[in-house]
Amino acid sequence: MRPTWAEISLDSFKSNLGKVKMLVGRGVCVMAVVKADAYGHGAVRLSKTALSSGADMLGVATVPEALQLRKSGITGEIFLLGGIDPSEAEIVVENGFIPACYSSAVLKALSEAASKSTKTASYHLKVDTGMTRLGVSSDEASSFASSASFPAISLEGVFTHLASSNIPRSDYTDYQLGVFRKTLSSLQARGIKYGSAHCANSAAVQKFPDSHMDIVRPGIMLYGLEAMGQVNLKPVMKLKTRIVQLRKIREGTSVGYGESFVTQRETWVATLPIGYADGYPRALSNRAKVSLGGKLAPLIGSVCMDFIMVDVTDIPGVRVGDEVVLFGDSLVSVADVSSWAGTISYEILSRISPRVPRHYI
């Protein structure tokens, strides 16, 4: 087998979920967000671990993601955060998924599908309080819910998405929470009943206790990132590989495509079998470092589709077959890699491709 893999610590994942439950206390439902293949960690395995460790429901982005979990034997509640297309209504009703909704066309399709199957379809109304991405505006929410008098559907919840809860000293989250509470009051004043209200993502779970409401939706913090305050989270993924070739090359030798790196000394170069096709960003070319034998080795040259090269001249005793950590240990974190690549940790984790096997420990 190709010696590149992602090591997933289930104990760390359980520990992070436990921190969420401690923060929100009893009486608050925890929706474990496992979209994008559980942020690259493996949706099926992490979903089963979440449910067996105290999560109440799962959150995904798309119908195919939800179907993958159902087909794996998961029978619990699965929430579709991104909503659905009307053409997906029958599949949603048949499998008991709960979609976000902000379209009367979707509600009509859900009603028709539910009526045919003699079931009741539940949905959560998505309210846009300032993210400006998806949802019904706060001013329109009451009239939208009032007009949604289709048979065989039930308004189970109302929710919104916070845009800036991770930004220090931002007043925008307080603004959004105020708009959301006003929306809920308006719904109640018009006699519109719903089962639950929710808006707290990972950052809000940690920083805004008044946002917890009935359900919280932790995502990135379950995977050990974006810790805030006194919360001690544990990284869940380590991306690893092994040296497949080791060579001593002369000063003045070009390394990799495009002559982007030329050695300034006699150099020991280790080739590692991982590249941008595995989700290791090309933007890391001549920028990243890897962890090897308790020391850091700089990446030299451009990231190729299947390989990278690192300078191990200053690390004695290196051999072919030695294990290398791309991120996830005490020397190189996901945050380090995302900073070198000019992106965010979410992207680094979720782009690790399917051809990198996940090893669960």
Task: Kindly list the catalytic residues.
Answer: 35, 257
220 touches 227 (CB < 8 A): no
Q: What is the DSSP-derived secondary structure letter of residue 169?
A: T
Residues in CB range of 75: below 8 A, 6 or more apart: none
Of residues 112, 217, 90, 108, the one with CA closest to residue 157: 217
292 touches 324 (CB < 8 A): yes
Of residues 88, 122, 42, 82, the one with CA closest to residue 217: 82
Instruction: Classify residue 181 as exposed, middle or buried by CB count within 10 Å of its CB (0-12, 13-18, 19+).
Output: middle
Return the CA Rg of the chain.
24
Q: Is the dihedral of CA 347, 39, 289, 255 positive or negative?
A: negative
Task: Output the six-digit token pair for 135.
Answer: 């949802």
- Angle at CA 213, nearest 5°, toward 212 and 216? 50
Which amino acid, one-letter code, is at 140? E
> What distance, in Å, lies between the first and last C-alpha atoms of the chain?
19
H or E stretch at 52: helix 43-52
- Give dist(CA 115, CA 101) in Å, integer: 18
Say how many residues make up the chain: 361
- Give dist(CA 232, CA 269) in Å, integer: 37
SS3 letters across 285-332: CCCCEEEECCEEEEEECCCCCCCEEEECCCCCCCCCCCEEEEECCCCC
